[in-house]
C-alpha cells in the first residue's frame, strides 16, 4: 500500500491471480518518482489501459505528499491533460475519480472541481496531509503524509466544501480518520456517498470493517435515516 509500488504489470498479475471479486475493485493510479512530469498523461493512460479489464473504477492519484512533485499534477492544465489521455483509452467507460489533497487552497478548489465535473466521474477526499496542526508540538516534525484520526475533521470539512461547491452532483468517496460507525455517518452527512478506510485497518485489523458495518445500521436508524443514501449531504440541508 502506498508509494512506490511494484508497478502496473505486477499489480495486473496479482489481480489476475485473485480472480473476480464479489465487491467492486478500485485501482489507484499514481506516477512513480522516476517518470518525468511531461510524460504523466502518457503514463497514466498506459497504466489504465493495462489494468482496465481488472478494475471496476479507477482513482487518479495526483495528491500523495510522499511522492516528490506529484501534487504539481493537481494544477489545472496538467490534470486536464491527464484526464484527456485517460479518457481516450477508457473503453468501455469505467468511472475515473480524482484523489485530492486536503491541503488545497479554497481559491484553487472550485476551478479544479469544475474540471473534474467535465472530465471525470467523482473524487476521493482526501489524501494524507502535510499539516501538523492537529498534532502536539513534540510530534510535529514527523515526516511524510499524516493520516488517521488527526485528519478526520479536515477531511470532513473538505468533503462538505466539495459537496456545496458541486451542489451534490459529484460523487465523493470520503477518506480520512474513519474508525467507527459514527465516523462513517459524519462523512455521509458531510456529502460522501461512499467511504474508504486505511489507518483504521492498521490499528483495527481486518475486523474493523465488519465492526463498523455492524454499528452503522442501528446508528442510521437512530438518526432517522432509512438508508445510507438518505444520510448523504444532510448536514448542509440542516444549515439551510
- Confirm whether 1 is domain-assigned: no
Axis-axis angle for helices 181-190, 208-222 (nearest 10): 60
Would the pLDDT of 137 be above 80? Answer: no
pLDDT of amino acid 139: 62
Tell me the average pLDDT across 55-59.
98
Would the pLDDT of 232 be above 70? Answer: yes
**DSSP secondary structure string for all residues of 74-108:** GSHHHHHHHHHHHHHH--S---EEEEEPTT--TTT
Q: Helix (H, G, I), strand (E, B), or coil: what is residue 197?
A: coil
pLDDT of amino acid 239: 66
Q: Is residue 113 within 8 Å of 125, Cβ to Cβ?
A: no
Tell me the average pLDDT across 30-41.
88
- Confirm whether 72 is domain-assigned: yes
- Cis peptide bond N-terminal to 92, omega within 30: yes
- Confirm whether 107 is domain-assigned: yes
Number of domains in the chain: 1
Band of residue 1 on the pLDDT scale cut at 50, 70, 90: low
- Confirm whether 2 is domain-assigned: no
Q: Helix (H, G, I), strand (E, B), or coil: what is residue 193?
A: coil
CA-based nearest residue to 184, from 161, 157, 213, 164: 213
Q: What range defines the domain where residue 124 resides?
A: 8-138+145-239
Band of residue 144 on the pLDDT scale cut at 50, 70, 90: low
Q: pLDDT of 21-31, one tens digit each?
A: 999 999 999 98
C-alpha to C-alpha distance for 56 and 36, rounded to whole angstroms: 28
- Confirm whether 161 is domain-assigned: yes
Give the residues across from 61 on adjacent strands: 30, 99
Band of residue 131 on the pLDDT scale cut at 50, 70, 90: confident
DSSP alpha helix (H) spans, 90-180: 109-119, 152-165
Q: Is residue 127 within 8 Å of 63, Cβ to Cβ?
A: yes
- Confirm whether 3 is domain-assigned: no
Q: pLDDT of 204-215, one tens digit each?
A: 999 999 999 999
pLDDT of amino acid 95: 99
Average pLDDT value over all residues in the chain: 90
Tell me the average pLDDT across 176-198.
97
Q: pLDDT of 82-107, one tens digit each?
A: 999 999 999 999 999 999 999 888 89
- Confirm whether 104 is domain-assigned: yes
The three three-digit cell numbers of residue 125, written as one number: 477526499
Q: Is residue 191 within 8 Å of 236, Cβ to Cβ?
A: yes
Tell me the average pLDDT across 52-59.
98
CATH number at residue 93: 3.20.20.70
- Confirm whether 165 is domain-assigned: yes
Amino acid at each position: 500500500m502506498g508509494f512506490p509500488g511494484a508497478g502496473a504489470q505486477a499489480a495486473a498479475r496479482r489481480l489476475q491471480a485473485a480472480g473476480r471479486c464479489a465487491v467492486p475493485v478500485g485501482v489507484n493510479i499514481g506516477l512513480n518518482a522516476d517518470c518525468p512530469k511531461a510524460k504523466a498523461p502518457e503514463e497514466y493512460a498506459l497504466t489504465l489501459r493495462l489494468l482496465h479489464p481488472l478494475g471496476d473504477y479507477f482513482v487518479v492519484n495526483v495528491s500523495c505528499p510522499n511522492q516528490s512533485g506529484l501534487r504539481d499534477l493537481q494544477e489545472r492544465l496538467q490534470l486536464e491533460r491527464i484526464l484527456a489521455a485517460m479518457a481516450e483509452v477508457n473503453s468501455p467507460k469505467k468511472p475515473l475519480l480524482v484523489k485530492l489533497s486536503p491541503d488545497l487552497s479554497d481559491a484553487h478548489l472550485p476551478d479544479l472541481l469544475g474540471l473534474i465535473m467535465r472530465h471525470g466521474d467523482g473524487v476521493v477526499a482526501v489524501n494524507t496531509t502535510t499539516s501538523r496542526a492537529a498534532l502536539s508540538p513534540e510530534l510535529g516534525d514527523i515526516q511524510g503524509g499524516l493520516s488517521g484520526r488527526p485528519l478526520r475533521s479536515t477531511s470532513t470539512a473538505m468533503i462538505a466544501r466539495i459537496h456545496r461547491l458541486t451542489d451534490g452532483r459529484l460523487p465523493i468517496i470520503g477518506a480520512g480518520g474513519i474508525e467507527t460507525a459514527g465516523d462513517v455517518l459524519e462523512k455521509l452527512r458531510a456529502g460522501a456517498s461512499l467511504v474508504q478506510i486505511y489507518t483504521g485497518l492498521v490499528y483495527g485489523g481486518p475486523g474493523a470493517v465488519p465492526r463498523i458495518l455492524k454499528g452503522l445500521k442501528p446508528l442510521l436508524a437512530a438518526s432517522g435515516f432509512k438508508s445510507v443514501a438518505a444520510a448523504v449531504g444532510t448536514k448542509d440541508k440542516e444549515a439551510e
